[in-house]
Chains A and B, each alone.
Chain A
Amino acid sequence: MSNDRPGKVRMMQGNQACAEGAIAAGCRFFAGYPITPSSEIAENLSVMLPRLGGKFIQMEDEMAAMGAIIGAALTGQKSMTATSGPGFSLKQENIGYAGMAEVPCVIVNVMRGGPSTGMPTLPAQMDVQQARWGAHGDRGVIALTAKSAQETYEQTIRAFNLAEKFMTPVILLIDEITGHTTEKVIIPDASDIEIVHRKKPDEDPENYLPYRLTDECVPILAPFGTGYRYNVTGLCHNETGFPTNDSHDIQCLIERLTRKIEMYEDDIIRNNELMLEDAEIGVFAYGSVARTAQAVVRMCREEGIKVGLLEPKVLWPFPAKAVFAMAQKVRAIVVPELNLGQMAREVSLASECRVPVHKLGRVDGRPIPPQQLVEKIREVV
């Protein structure tokens, strides 16, 4: 069998790769409520977790599932839920709570078409702005994406690592195509996978302050049940975790919730670039649409049109520097996506009007085939 990388090769769909990635990352608690096209994540974990001594709970609804993983995460467990658009909307209040209380957890959204119950079985990328701004209030957000089963496996592990490192809920956005595409996944040896665990406090329980201000800006929350007692709240709080109305404490807290992601942006953001060096047309594409774009780069170059691809692996924080660098090189940017321009808007902002940004939005529940993007690029040229 042809295999140029070590590890086990298996055929699996993106959703199963997500479940496998979660287990590899150390996830031992899942709470969820089934919803197409994400259900196979729960289905797989309902079998895998009990075998490993983990817990799987099907909750009464999506809100309760989000609440359950916050509770489990506070005991030190790596915890996850998975859903799709309508469930993602319902989880927002508790996602905001996890952001405010700085509880690390992973929320997977296998995107389908909306608004409302929309298109249960058909792909879309309509939740990319909701991932950033879906919960009220100001705070930094980390949201990853993936275009294949292999990347879904790797990005699920990374989502846990980033959650633990920055003590924040991390969102993984894939779409129905990625979730339901079965293809080869190379599972590395466990010793080759980087796993991050949250820091533990080194002071004794009497002197412990859960939200102590440090230069790193990331709190150290002791797992409940290890002798440390502290308060967790969605209200603005001070270093003790108890609510406060002190203006200085509040200003510090809210600024820190944004700064703790912003100051690490260069570590968090990752992009793939394909033939951008000499490109005249830049394509910005993510998730399953990036696969269309890869094919299109090849097809256009055969026609003599110099096209390059910027493919973000992290949607939030937004890769503004990479977009700006691309905008300085190319004559125009094309943004194909399965919505009506949600990320094209960010690309326009980040390119600072250097070049025109053209949207190609498809919202009929069908993928963007390479031919459609090629035609758009010809039009732009």
Chain B
Amino acid sequence: MDRYDVRLSGSGGQGLILAGKILAEAAAIYDGRNAVQTQSYGPEARGGASKAEVVIKDGEIDYPKAMDLDLLLSLTQESCTKYSGDLKEDGIMIVDSEIVKYPPEGSFKLYAAPITSIAANKIGKIVVTNIVALGILSKIAGVVTEESMRKAILARVPKGTEEINMKAFDEGWKTGEELLAE
């Protein structure tokens, strides 16, 4: 497989860097391919546009930052506007439908779901928004196996939160299936 470039974007504090690490570990450790994860954030601890990038490839990865995006996830309008320029024409854009009201126009495939609301209402914890997003993303992208995603999440989340995080992933995966069926 050639490079598969993913950018996870939103606001500082939404757990996107952790989500990027989980995605990279699922690909590199559990699926046995290569992956690098990089990040970019502002000097502030919360807020501001934040992004994590993951490059997945079978061979050696030279340039570690994402270049032409195969997939962009945006959880805020600001990050969507700022970081969507590199998306490939046939790329995939996944946005939070209740927050990103004005996704840019283009020939890419757009999938919109109320990601933050699913975490807050169906799971009952807004903090698992990143894991819901990972469920949707991994179902739609299909570059990492479901089993590896689950293992990578369980290896990274704090002890005692495994169940709620698995529930969040399941809900995201289900949402991804629905989006693909539409």
Contact = CB atoms under 8 A, between A and B. Distances in A.
Note whether A and B form a binding pair.
yes
B32 A370 contact: no
Contacts of B42: 121
B157 interface: no
Contact of A11 (B28, B32, B41): B28
B64 A11 contact: no
B164 interface: no
B34 A295 contact: no
B62 A295 contact: yes
A10 B35 CA distance: 12
Contacts of A120: 43
Contact of A181 (B29, B34, B38, B43): B38
B8 to A, nearest CB: 13
A182 interface: yes
B100 to A, nearest CB: 24
B67 interface: yes
Given A2-B32, A177-B38, A294-B62, A182 B24 contact: yes
Contact of A183 (B36, B43, B63, B65): B36
Chain B interface size range = 20 to 34
B41 A183 contact: no
Interface residues on chain A, size class? 20 to 34
Interface string A1-38: 11100000111000000000000000000000000100
B61 interface: yes
Contacts of A370: 63, 67
Given A121-B42, A182-B37, A177 B28 contact: no
B25 interface: yes
Interface string A336-370: 00000000000000000000000000000001011
Contacts of B67: 369-371
A120 B48 CA distance: 15
Contacts of B33: 2
B69 to A, nearest CB: 13
Secondary structure type dominating chain B contacts: mixed
A123 to B, nearest CB: 9
A206 B151 CA distance: 63
A222 to B, nearest CB: 45
Interface in A315-350: none
B60 to A, nearest CB: 8
Interface of B: 20-21, 24-25, 28-29, 32-43, 61-65, 67
Interface of A: 1-3, 9-11, 36, 120-122, 177, 180-184, 288, 291-292, 294-295, 298, 367, 369-371
A9 B29 contact: yes
A1 B32 contact: yes
B29 A11 contact: yes
Nearest to B27: A11
A241 to B, nearest CB: 45
A257 B39 CA distance: 41
A180 B38 contact: yes
Contacts of A11: 21, 24-25, 28-29, 35
Contacts of B38: 177, 180-182
9 contacts: A1-B29, A3-B32, A182-B21, A183-B28, A184-B28, A184-B29, A291-B62, A292-B62, A370-B63
A98 B40 CA distance: 35
Contacts of B61: 183
B33 to A, nearest CB: 8
